[in-house]
Amino acid sequence: MTNTKLIFLSSEDDNSSELECFLNTSNEITINIKDPNRGDFFSYEHVSLDLPTAIKLSKVLRSGINKGKEVLNG
């Protein structure tokens, strides 16, 4: 994996929350969720997933996205 961090912005009107994904030094996928409005130590929540668990998460997300598309398309 490249030395990259991906940041996704919230779809809420204030665009305040961010979701950041990257491969950490233990070869795990780390996901940080940042709420910059908090401005304190607890403005970050994170989870690190081993690769098999990250793959499972991606499949669950993909399935949810496809279900959402079906609802939108009627």
HEC letters along 1-41: CCCCCEEEECCCCCCCCEEEEEECCCCCEEEEEECCCCCCH
3-state secondary structure of 53: helix
Residue 1 predicted with pLDDT over 60: no
The residues spanned by each domain of the chain are 6-73
Q: Residues 8-38: pLDDT tens digits?
A: 888 877 767 889 999 999 999 999 998 877 7
The predicted model scores a pTM of 0.74
